[in-house]
Homo-oligomer: A and B are copies of this chain.
Amino acid sequence: MHTRYDVVVVGAGIVGLSAAYHIKQTRPDASLLIIDRNAAVGQGDTAKSNAALRDTFTSTVNRTLARSTIDFYKHVQNELGFNLNLDMVGYLWLLSKRQAQELSTVEVEMQRQGTRFRTYDVDELEAMIPDLTLRPSSQQTKLMGLEDVEKGLFGIDCGTVAPELIARFYESELRKLGAEFQFHTEAKSLQLAARRSLGINGEPLVWQEKFFKQIETNRGPIPASTFVLSAGTRTPLLLDPVGVDCMIKPRKNQLFQVRAPSLQRLLNTKGFNEHDTIPFTILPNGQVYFRPVRRENSVWVGAVAGLGRPFALEEEPIAEEPYYTKQIYPVLSEYFPCFINLRPTNMWAGFYDVNSLDATPIIARIENCIITTGMSGSGIMKADAVGRIAAALLEGRDEATLFGNRKISTAQVGLVNRAVEPEKFVI
């Protein structure tokens, strides 16, 4: 083990791995250590994700980050031959009349930008998805205020992936490049020092120029020239004590696996994609969505938490079954009666590092510390681009080159002079 690394990356989730990989690509001779509190790569919130990918964003930044990352994953799977279980099943938004109207400008914008999508009318949806109830009409439905499905909006260059395989890809490449890993190592605090120490007690003082000297962990301090914080929702635990606001809050993300013979027809829905399965599907109400997982003959179901669900970090989050039975099931079973009486066969929970301002990653440099946070639930679909921007920031570059030779300003996604348009197409 080195006594002092050139680069220490905190967090071996998909974002930290991507950052480390692109830093090692840029600086093959740099000594680089990745630490993580878990026992292996991708075991934190990366493993808890629904791992869906879409390029249907209206903001240029989001679209660029997602498209280049999706293209990179395609490249890894198709050209490098490293299987990522990348299935381009598409994203299907089932929209109410109200939502279709709200999204009409988004459609125009996506068309202009060359985002590939198509729409389905109710007759097409009815014919293609026999399991879908377009106009839920029970007494319950009325009381709940559920809306009729009026239209389907289908994102073509969207799909699902296995984040543990992407993590393994980056890890194996990093090991080839000589990067070191240290697991069961939890970052406890960042320690600043004065650039020109006067040996005064209490340094660094307000009037001294400062730099990040080392990171304290449960296994002792680790000094480095540069630190990369890719610790997801745990980032503020490191930055608040040194007075840096990385502008994120933790939001619990719960997923429920449902596996049952009654879901076979749904899983074998044809006509949307080459996998002959139902796309990743978003219901009109309740922020409920599901993801087909044909490999395990199951469906993963979730609901995006919003107003009323706390921002609060838990050490070892567990999924709450009532979140399925009370929040998800009443909506899901109305639109998709094939779920009636089904209960989860498995469930798990993680955390999103939510940037409430613009729901776009924050990639910033503060002295010799680079921060990647604010993935807001779209970390896997943007991770490769985020890692490349982190590597560009380490080089002090104003511009990063993403996969496919796309360029992006590094300042644009930082904390100072941030310039990100509000995203108009949220799930």
Contacts and interface: CB of A to CB of B under 8 A. Distances in A.
A311 B206 contact: no
Size category of the binding interface on chain A: 35 or more
A245 B205 CA distance: 31
Nearest to A197: B143
A387 to B, nearest CB: 24
Nearest to A322: B202
Contacts of A209: 145
Contacts of A251: 243
A311 B245 contact: yes
B330 A207 contact: yes
A249 interface: yes
A240 interface: yes
Interface stretch (A22-30, A154-162, A177-185, A285-293): A285-293
Given A143-B198, A207-B331, A247 B356 contact: yes
Nearest to A358: B418
Given A205-B327, A206-B303, A357 B144 contact: no
A330 B207 CA distance: 9
A357 B247 contact: yes
A152 B40 CA distance: 57
Contacts of A312: 240-241
Contact of A326 (B145, B205, B328, B330): B205
A285 B247 contact: no
Contacts of A327: 205-207
Contacts of A244: 307, 356
A306 interface: yes
Contact of A143 (B145, B196, B306, B356): B196
14 contacts: A200-B326, A205-B327, A205-B330, A206-B303, A206-B305, A206-B306, A207-B286, A210-B308, A240-B249, A243-B309, A244-B307, A244-B356, A247-B247, A307-B367
Nearest to A417: B422
* Interface SS of chain A: loop
Contacts of A309: 206, 243
A319 interface: no
Nearest to A195: B145
A271 interface: no
Interface in A307-341: 307-312, 322, 326-328, 330-331
A366 interface: yes
Nearest to A244: B307
A415 interface: yes
Interface string A243-286: 11101010100000000000000000000000000000000011
A383 to B, nearest CB: 23
Given A243-B309, A245-B311, 5 more contacts: A206-B328, A207-B286, A207-B288, A243-B305, A245-B356
A285 B207 contact: yes
B192 A308 contact: yes
A356 B415 CA distance: 8
A233 to B, nearest CB: 13
Contacts of A308: 192, 204, 206, 210, 242-243
Contact of A145 (B144, B196, B249, B286): B196
Contacts of A245: 249, 311, 354, 356-357
